[in-house]
Amino acid sequence: MLLRHTTAEVAERSALSVNPAKTCQPIGAMYAALGLHRCLPHSHGSQGCCAYHRSALTRHYKEPIMAGTSSFTEGSSVFGGQSNLLQALNNMFTLYDPDVVAVHTTCLSETIGDDIPQIVDKANEKGHIPEGKYVIHANTPSYVGSHVTGFANMAKAMVDYLAEPAAMKNECINIVPGWVEPADMREIKRLCWQMGVDVIMFPDTSDVLDAPQTGEYEFYPKGGVTIPELKQTGASSATLALGHTASAPAARALDVKCNVPCEVLDLPIGLAATDRFVDALRRTARVEVPQYLENERGRVVDVITDMHQYFHGKRVALWGDPDQLVSLTEFLVDLDMRPVYIVTGTPGKAFLKRIEKALDGRVPEAKVKQGLGADMFLMHQWIKNEPVDLLIGNTYGKYISRDEDTPLIRHGFPILDRIGHSYFPTVGYGGALRLLEKILDALLSDQDKNSPEESFELVM
């Protein structure tokens, strides 16, 4: 079984990753593109890449993922994929009538060096792009970055291609939500509306990847940011970017292009990060925090007080996406837990500093690894040397969980072996409550499972 033969002895590796804690860029670009209303994502590369990206998203969201592919053959691999993309654009606009096609590249088309804007110009010349329709693109070579940078690149492409500068600013605030679940995006919008703040969220996969079952199949579900809304982002008074890795590039591009000032915040996971988000909304939109939200927060504090005795000192291993890890680490430290192992395969400049800040000097034994060699194999080796009480991360941790008999809370992307996770937010005060319940359930179920007969308690 995967990871069954992991040895405890940690050897320095300079070139090899084993089960990396990341996946490839186009998956993120495809996910972001699905958050644009009536958009058809398009993978400029081989069919195999596109099939993998679609199936990765389908397996996580349990929804059909529509996307086109340039279907490279041996010929296009040598001479470039221009004619394939021209034909694909013509076919897609003729057969599927999207408002926008979001093209992302793959390792192969990047290595060839295909110039997407030049090919799109050609498609325009040939009349393959109907009046009023758009093609945007992001470069997403997978030998650099990860699915998170792919998401960031496509979110930035939305700004580069579609945002329009405006002389007069309005009261609206743009929110770039980062790679979170559709339910998280809905929850972030609910928080904004509850505070009376008018927002444009982009991308927005709520009501796309968690659309209700109506008995009718909709090729383009009703959710997603619309093109007119994206054009309007240039007239907003500010942008709040949630997550330094996934959201900051789009927010900064909008500032440069349309002079919309931005503030980059952590994902609002946990009490402190949600407080900062709510406070940023309050300051930016000059509104009051309603009593309703204060009550929500108060309930989280009450539950933490009740649960704290079980959390204190528990050692946790975390892996996944950098923006998620920073906020989760801060939350766990606030609960007096000890996030001792933290691993992400996604590169990015400020991650280590931000994790250090989240640890706040309170977990001196913490080991943090990012980028090359930051993989599930290393995580398993660390755990073999000094076990943990809890694992938090994506499905790939289930092998470690089984081998080491340690409870696992599934969080992040991808979750391939459970259903329903994308319908429950983990952001905001409501999301914090859900996380708290999941953590305590996992710890106490483990205690029940392993306690001897004489200390198996009905009341805990």
Would you tell me which residues interact with ligand SF4 (CB under 6 A)? Answer: 24, 26, 49, 52, 106-107, 142
> Cβ of residue 70: shortest distance to ligand SF4, in angstroms?
12
> Cβ of residue 108: shortest distance to ligand SF4, in angstroms?
6
> Cβ of residue 106: shortest distance to ligand SF4, in angstroms?
4
Closest CB to ligand SF4 among 26 and 431?
A: 26
Closest CB to ligand SF4 among 24 and 265?
A: 24
Closest CB to ligand SF4 among 47 and 94?
A: 47
> Cβ of residue 144: shortest distance to ligand SF4, in angstroms?
11
Q: How far apart are CA 295 and CA 291, in angstroms?
A: 6
Closest CB to ligand SF4 among 57 and 197?
A: 57
Closest CB to ligand SF4 among 142 and 153?
A: 142
> Cβ of residue 85: shortest distance to ligand SF4, in angstroms?
16
Closest CB to ligand SF4 among 143 and 217?
A: 143
Closest CB to ligand SF4 among 26 and 430?
A: 26
> Cβ of residue 188: shortest distance to ligand SF4, in angstroms?
29
> Cβ of residue 45: shortest distance to ligand SF4, in angstroms?
6
Closest CB to ligand SF4 among 77 and 237?
A: 77
Closest CB to ligand SF4 among 49 and 273?
A: 49
**Three-state DSSP string of the chain:** CCCCCCCCCCCCCCCCCCCECCCCHHHHHHHHHHCECCEEEEEECCHHHHHHHHHHHHHHHCCCCCCEECCCCHHHHHHCCHHHHHHHHHHHHHHCCCCEEEEEECHHHHHHCCCHHHHHHHHHHCCCCCCCCEEEEECCCCCCCCHHHHHHHHHHHHHHHHCCCCCCCCCCEEEECCCCCHHHHHHHHHHHHHCCCCEEECCCCCCCCCCCCCCCCCCCCCCCECHHHHHHHHHCCEEEEECCCCCHHHHHHHHHHHCCCEEEECCCCCHHHHHHHHHHHHHHHCCCCCHHHHHHHHHHHHHHHHHHHHHCCCEEEEECCHHHHHHHHHHHHHCCCEEEEEEECCCCCCHHHHHHHHHCCCCCCCEEEECCCCEHHHHHHHHHHCCCCEEEECHHHHHHHHHHCCCEEECCCCCCCCCCHHHCCCCHHHHHHHHHHHHHHHHHHHHHHHCCHHHCCCCC
Closest CB to ligand SF4 among 49 and 333?
A: 49
Closest C-alpha among 127, 159, 141 to residue 44: 141
> Cβ of residue 47: shortest distance to ligand SF4, in angstroms?
10
> Cβ of residue 68: shortest distance to ligand SF4, in angstroms?
15
> Cβ of residue 224: shortest distance to ligand SF4, in angstroms?
24
Q: How far apart are CA 92 and CA 83, in angstroms?
A: 14
Sign of CA dihedral 20, 23, 24, 28: negative
Instruction: Centre a 10 Å sphere on the Cβ of residue 243 and count the other Cβ atoms it contains.
Output: 28
